[in-house]
Amino acid sequence: MAGRARRTRAFEEVLLQVERRIAEDGLRVGDRLPGERQLAEQLQVSRASVREALRVLETLGVVSSQAGRGPDAGAILTSRPDSALTDLLRLSLGLSSLSLREVIDTRLMIERWSAEHAAASPAVAAEPDAMAEAIRAMEAAATAEEFVEHDIAFHVAIAEASGNRLVAAVMRALRGAMRRYAIEAVEGLGDTGALQGDHRRIHAAITSGDAAAAVEAVTAHLAHAYPELF
Amino acid sequence: MAGRARRTRAFEEVLLQVERRIAEDGLRVGDRLPGERQLAEQLQVSRASVREALRVLETLGVVSSQAGRGPDAGAILTSRPDSALTDLLRLSLGLSSLSLREVIDTRLMIERWSAEHAAASPAVAAEPDAMAEAIRAMEAAATAEEFVEHDIAFHVAIAEASGNRLVAAVMRALRGAMRRYAIEAVEGLGDTGALQGDHRRIHAAITSGDAAAAVEAVTAHLAHAYPELF
DNA sequence: AGCCGAGTATGGTCAGACCATACTCCAGGG
DNA sequence: CCCTGGAGTATGGTCTGACCATACTCGGCT
């Protein structure tokens, strides 16, 4: 039953045409797509089919729709792959088609890479220090939810400091999909002192440009956070 | 105009309810969702809204729809995150919101991790050797397209041998999104002998369980494949 | 000049119809 | 008894046309 050559559906044709138009017309983020009715007439499909295609593009973070009139209305090209990635991971975890172990192993890979490259990047010291800010906020956190929120911000800041937007996006998605588990883990831990110590060590290693120490520090940190997996 | 709490749209409500049902009823891959008409009635929305929600889930690789009747018809829970990831990356590249450099750097991270873990995995020697098969197929390839097809299969096989399905899925997506660039690169290279030598070295290192050599080999391989980026 | 309301373009939603597909079931023939 | 073919039907796929909600645009009035 594999090679099912199902006739392409109408909305798939719309997807192809829109993507082609993006490529050929050199459309960029911020540009507008034609209205649903206009697109439907151009492609000779119903508005419902156009809407299904737009929904797909919206899911993929490529367009954003806004009702009303004027320059901000209609389907506008954007680039927000984060929520799509997050949804994808969250649902895969929910369907048990990915194990928490696999997600955490992947996270370790990305954390190590990010820390190494962030430490090696000369731009890090100059930026407003999102990492230090997150550490301060974790200090003040009253609940596990709050703590995890700023913990996510801390680790995402590392990934962003690596300078690679794809890696940063994957990190955001991983942490977003794991949020629930992270909160449970923090609650089970009780004391967050060890984690905070790790955070300071990671931060110090990165800002001082010591890549090897940064990698070592994040590795130790994840071992503390998920002792049952090591 | 920022925090506009836009009233949730009908299909978003459907998404929430379906996801909730998946979690609460413990639905697994292979289980069926209610039909579109039935779902519409249960949630008090139109069938069009249900369809938009299903389209989103299909995009995320969570359901697969099949017309007709019988146990295989209707919306079935699946888990195919690959095409969603691929589309996401391809469109992000098309919109220039990701640079090729970022994608290739990410690929290098994953290749190194995969090679290391594949070499350390005891199961590798036992499996039907997809890597060796891919190398043979590349040998016989007449065109750049064919070569790249089997090259992708080779590298995906390494990622799968690492035992981490998430990493393997990301690898498939990366290579799928980069397919076009890879073909151009191979055509520009002309001779694929160096690449094939690399492949054999990688394969030998992994099957012999030498993780360090495997990592070194994939690093050198990517440097050969993308000389302009190093 | 400034304000306010009508007009209008846009997405959001719905109801209902019809088509295409593919299984189910049963009658009839072998 | 089994097999075969056709009617029945449940499912997704698509279209049409309508109406609502939103938010800008424009013109006239103050």
CA distances from B182 to A126, A198, B64, B150, B177 (A): 36, 41, 30, 12, 10
Kindly report the three-state secondary structure assignment for every residue of chain B: CCCCCCCCCHHHHHHHHHHHHHHHCCCCCCCECCCHHHHHHHHCCCHHHHHHHHHHHHHCCCEEEECCCCCCCEEEECCCHHHHHHHHHHHHHHCCCCCHHHHHHHHHHHHHHHHHHHHHCCCCCCCCCHHHHHHHHHHHCCCHHHHHHHHHHHHHHHHHHCCCHHHHHHHHHHHHHHHHHHHHHHHHHCCCHHHHHHHHHHHHHHHCCCHHHHHHHHHHHHHHHCHHHC
State the pLDDT at residue B124. Answer: 63
- Tell me how far apart the alpha carbons of residues A201 and A215 are, in angstroms, rounded to a whole number: 11
Query: Among candidates A166, A168, A167, which has minimal Cα distance to A157?
Result: A168
pLDDT of residue A91: 92
The stretches in chain A having pLDDT less than 70 are: 1-6, 123-128
**Angle subtended by helix axes B81-94 and A81-94, to nearest 10:** 170
Nucleotides of D under 7 A from a protein CB: 8-18, 21-25
Looking at chain A from residue 52 to 91, which residues have their Cβ under 8 Å from any Cβ of chain B? 52, 55-56, 59-62, 77, 79, 81, 84-85, 87-89, 91
Instruction: Give residue B136's Cα distance to chain centre.
Output: 23
Domains of chain B: 2-77 (1.10.10.10), 84-229 (1.20.120.530)
Tens digit of each residue's pLDDT (9 = 90 or more) over B95-119: 888 999 999 999 999 999 999 999 9
- pLDDT score at A2: 34
The per-residue pLDDT of chain B, averaged, comes to: 92
- The CA–CA distances, whole Å, from B196 to A118, B132, B136, B143, B159 equal 34, 11, 10, 15, 18
Q: How far is B182 from chain A (nearest CA, A)?
A: 18
Question: What's the pLDDT tens digit per position in B72-83?
Answer: 888 999 999 999
pLDDT of B3 above 60: no
Which pTM does this prediction carry?
0.90
- pLDDT reported for residue B39: 97
Using the Cβ of B110 and the Cβ atoms of chain A, whether some distance falls under 8 Å is answered with yes
Q: Print burial letters for A104-117: b (CB count within 10 Å at least 16), e (below 16).
A: bbbbbbbbbbbbbb
Q: Does B103 touch chain A (CB under 8 A)?
A: yes
Share of chain B above pLDDT 90, in %: 81
Is the separation of the CB atoms in B171 and B155 below 8 Å? yes
Mean pLDDT computed over B128-151: 94
Give the whole-angstrom CA distance, residue B65 versus residue B54: 9
Partners of A89 on chain B (C-beta within 8 Å) are 166
Q: Is the CB of B46 under 7 A from strand D?
A: no
Residue A31 forms contact with B (CB below 8 Å)? no
d(CA B210, CA B213): 6
- The chain B residue lying nearest A30, using CA atoms, is B95
Cβ(A47)–Cβ(A37) below 8 Å: yes
pLDDT at B38: 96
**Nearest residue of B to residue A53, measured between CA atoms:** B55
Write out chain B residues lying below 8 Å of A97, CB-based.
29, 79, 81, 165
Distance of CA A77 to the CA centre of its chain: 18
Residues from chain B that touch A51, judged by Cβ atoms under 8 A, are 48, 52
The confidence score (pLDDT) of residue A68 equals 87
State both tokens at A13: 């044709």
Cα separation, A181 vs A228, in Å, equals: 13
Beta strand pairing call for A63-66 and A74-77: antiparallel
Name every chain A residue with its beta carbon within 8 A of the beta carbon of B28.
Answer: 95-96
How many alpha carbons lie under 13 Å from residue A36 in its C-beta half-sphere?
19
Q: What pairs with residue A76 in β-bridges?
A: A32, A64
Q: What is the pLDDT of residues B53-67, one digit of tens each?
A: 999 999 999 999 999
Which residues in window 28-47 of B are less than 7 A from strand C by Cβ? 44-47
pLDDT at B1: 34
Show which positions of strand C are touched by protein (CB under 7 A).
Answer: 7-17, 20-24
Q: What is the pLDDT of residue A6?
A: 60
Q: What is the pLDDT of residue A3?
A: 34
Distance between CA atoms of residues B219 and A194, nearest Å: 35
How far away is chain B from the Cα of A129, in angstroms, using its nearest Cα? 23
B187 at A interface, C-beta within 8 A:
no
Q: Hey, of A16, A28, A109, which one would you mutate to test binding to chain B, going by the most B CBs within 10 A of its CB?
A: A109
